[in-house]
Amino acid sequence: MTSQLTPKQIFESIQQTIDHYVVSLVSYSEAQFVYKSKPEVWSLGQLYEHLYITSNFFFLAQVVRCLEHRKGQMGGDKNQYGDNIFKHNGFPPFKFKIPEVLKGPEPIAKTRTEYEHLLLKVIADAEKLIEAVTNDEGAYKCFHPVFGWLNAHEWYHNLDMHLRHHLRQQQELTSLLPINFV
């Protein structure tokens, strides 16, 4: 099953979600932004780094690879997990553990000001792809390690779902900030 949302509709959701992340930046002090409640729990800054890195160098990069017919194949299917997220237009409402083989180094946060610019660039880069994704026939696919073979439209939609999924984590990390912590 392929998403019934158009790339324009998906982009509007991406923009709305990133706008939320950007507006939220002013509500954190630099100390709050790097605060870790436990060693194994990310800081807000690490979350923002994850959002930026995965948006640019994973999701949007895979969209471009599909459009350019690089590092993938003609055809291929999503697995049951991939079918499920597109059917429900979102990830299930629980935390995921990244498999050890896919884990990279722990994200290192930049400053809040840097993320304002970097996330606005993600919006601009995503917007530039609307027409190409709209016109793509969808036969060429690149492999997602959890969801199976996805075409450009599905990778684009997956970016949106990933950004929205992390809103819960942002809310949780914000709730863990100590009171009067500046």
Distance CA 118, CA 123 (A): 9
Q: Residue 127 is encoded by which pair of tokens?
A: 């917007």
- Taking only the tens place, the pLDDT of each residue in 117-163 is 999 999 999 999 999 999 999 999 999 999 999 999 999 999 999 99
- At residue 106, the pLDDT reads 85
Q: Which amino acid is at 160?
A: D
20-24, 99-103, 156-160, 176-180: segment of lowest average pLDDT: 99-103
Distance CA 151, CA 37 (A): 38
Q: Residue 20 is encoded by which pair of tokens?
A: 């939320």
Distance CA 63, CA 120 (A): 18
Collapse the DSSP code of 74 into the 3-class scheme (helix H, G, I; strand E, B; otherwise coil) and give the result: strand
126 close to 159: Cβ distance less than 8 angstroms = yes
150 close to 139: Cβ distance less than 8 angstroms = no
- At residue 1, the pLDDT reads 41
- Taking only the tens place, the pLDDT of each residue in 41-63 is 999 999 999 999 999 999 999 99
Model confidence at 24, in pLDDT bands (50, 70, 90)? very high
Residue 78's CB is within 10 A of a number of other CB atoms, namely: 20
Model confidence at 181, in pLDDT bands (50, 70, 90)? low
> If one looks up domain 7-93+111-175 in CATH, what number appears?
1.20.120.450
- Taking only the tens place, the pLDDT of each residue in 92-109 is 887 777 767 666 788 999
